[in-house]
Amino acid sequence: MKQAIKLYGKIKSNQIILIALLGILVACFVGGINTYYGRSITNIGSDEGLGGLLLAIMLLASGASVYTDQTRHLNTWLSTQNVSRRQIFLSKLLWMVIGPILFSNIIDFGMSLASQTHNLSKVLDSNLDDSLEGLFLVSLVVLVSIILGPIWPKVIGSIFVLIVSSSIFELGANYIVFDATNVIDNKLITCFGILILLSISYYIVGTIGVESEHEIVRIPVLKWPIVVFVFLSTFVFNINENAFNLNSFILPVVLGLITFIFVFKPKLSWQK
């Protein structure tokens, strides 16, 4: 495992440094704006903590960097080294997810100290909430990216899952009353969800090979569940945003049909 971490870190060192510099530049830019206007235009370096801005920017840059591994055939080359696919997966998770999250928190806390923020405990608590939420969303994207093959389905699938999951969470929040007594429980539930998603990803990584990267769905048994998921999740999203009627089925049917075509690639022919 130590060899895998060193190997991937050495290969991606330039991009890791660029991501860190991007975070510093964004923080300096926002800090300069806040200083110029004399108030907190964004949440970086304020009592509200990170606010997700810097965290989101660094994670998006990390995601773009990881996707380039496939275009450079880095995954195929790494599979020839004396490291397992699961070790590579954990190395990517450490360098490209955990690293940016920790670094963005350090930047925000440092700016909070520099701005003489008195409520540092609130900053830490806010950063913890944003980090857990960001890590949960990343865990969803990681799972989708492992199941799907080419880059464009990974991107489209990740965006779709994030939109649908946000809608489902919003729908669930309407039926749940949150108060100060269950804040800890909410964090534990989020941590539990992260562990489940990453565990599933870890298991799948060890069961598939790089030769399936060109397949839309790398696990054949999941083809029909994905089509059904697209239909049902879109339907739930529709009835959450609009009143239930016949039109609620139009978008789910269209997206379900498009997903079916791309996943199964049916050969259509018309005989004369």
How do residues 161-220 score in pLDDT, each as one tens digit? 988 887 766 655 554 444 444 555 678 888 999 999 999 999 999 888 777 888 899 999
94 and 224 assigned to the same domain: no
Region class of 38: left (phi > 0), else alpha (psi between -120 and 50), else beta: left
Q: Are residues 94 and 74 in the same domain?
A: yes
272 and 190 within one domain: no
Q: 182 and 106: one domain? A: yes
Helix (H) or strand (E) holding 149: none
Q: Is residue 247 located within the same domain as residue 168?
A: no
Same domain, 154 and 119: yes
According to the model, what pLDDT value does residue 271 have?
52
Examine the domain organization and report whether 15 and 73 are in the same domain.
Answer: yes
The DSSP code sequence of the chain is -HHHHHHHHHHTHHHHHHHHHHHHHHHHHHHHHHHHHTS-SSSTTSTTTTTTHHHHHHHHHHHHHHHHHHHTTHHHHHTTSSS-HHHHHHHHHIIIIIHHHHHHHHHHHHHHHHTT-S-HHHHHHHHHHHHHHHHHHHHHHHHHHHHB-SHHHHHHHHHHHHHHHHHHHHHHHTT----GGGHHHHHHHHHHHHHHHHHHHHHHHTT--GGGTTSSBSSGGGHHHHHHHHHHHHHHHHHHHS--SGGGGHHHHHHHHHHHHHHH--------
Which parts of 174-222 fold into alpha helices (H)? Answer: 183-205
161 and 223 both lie in a single domain: no
- 90 and 39, same structural domain? yes
Say whether both 175 and 228 belong to one domain: no
- Which of 196, 218, 240 terminates a domain? The answer is 218
Domain-terminating residue out of 198, 218, 238: 218
Segments forming the whole domain that contains residue 229:
219-272
Q: How far is 186 from 178, CA to CA, in rounded Å?
A: 9
Q: Are 167 and 265 contained in the same domain?
A: no
Task: Report the number of distinct structural domains present in the chain.
Answer: 2
Q: For residues 245 and 176, state if they share a domain.
A: no
Give the pLDDT confidence score for residue 137 in this predicted structure.
92
Confidence bin at 70 (pLDDT 50/70/90): confident
Note the pLDDT of residue 180.
Answer: 46
